[in-house]
Amino acid sequence: MNTKHHFYRKNFMAYLRQKKGIILILLLVSGTVSRYDKFMTLLATTDKLTGLMNRERFNAILSQKLWERPLVFMFDVDHFKHINDTRGHLWGNEVLARVGHKAEEIVGKAGCVARWGGDEFIGFIDAPGDAEETLRCLLESVRDLDNHVTISIGATRINPEDDMDAILMRVDDGMYRSKAEGRDRITYV
């Protein structure tokens, strides 16, 4: 009887060791897949050059915030083509990264900033009382990064009847009005 009991115990222990190995492997695979999934989500929603969120992620966040009616703004780097042509594309990339980081720093937790594409950025500010001051601070802070770099900003408040297209058209129009009126300024529409 003892040998029979010993036989079952020995086989049961081997069985558990085998199952523990399988469970350990499954846990390792699950953890790796989870980390990979998070990494792929980050890649899909983040602009590689600036580290800011990309336009798809921004659109998803803003569409959830429409009812809160934040101030939405869009800006681009003035004379960016000239910067690229005279100082090189590596410097142009550095300018975009610096401007993006400065915008994110200035807007902070009051809203968010994303790279829209090329040298254009977009964002919103939730705090209605501080929004205009925040944009003025952004304009001045970018100017302080490099005396050759300025931005033109278009900004708008969301109206209850607005959809995403209407908002984007207005901020884009405001940004181009800023450019037409001499650049390095904010135009509210």
pLDDT at 5 over 80: no
Q: Kindly list the distances between the CA atom of residue 26 and the CA atoms of 14, 19, 37, 71, 153, in Å, as whole numbers in the listed order.
A: 18, 10, 16, 48, 51
Using DSSP bridges, classify how beta strands 71-77 and 151-157 pair: parallel, antiparallel or unpaired. Answer: antiparallel
For the record, the structure tokens of 138 come out as 């952004």
* pLDDT (0 to 100) of residue 134: 94
Q: Map tokens 């029979």 to a residue.
A: 4
- Residue 129: pLDDT band by 50, 70, 90 thresholds? confident
pLDDT level of residue 112 (50, 70, 90 thresholds): very high
What pLDDT, on the 0 to 100 scale, is given for residue 68? 87
Report the predicted TM-score, pTM, of the whole model to 2 decimal places.
Answer: 0.80
For 66-102, the pLDDT digits (tens) are: 888 899 999 999 999 999 999 999 999 999 999 999 9
Predicted confidence at residue 144, as pLDDT, reads: 84
* Contact between residue 135 and residue 159 where contact means Cβ atoms under 8 Å apart: no
Cβ proximity of 148 and 84 under 8 Å: no
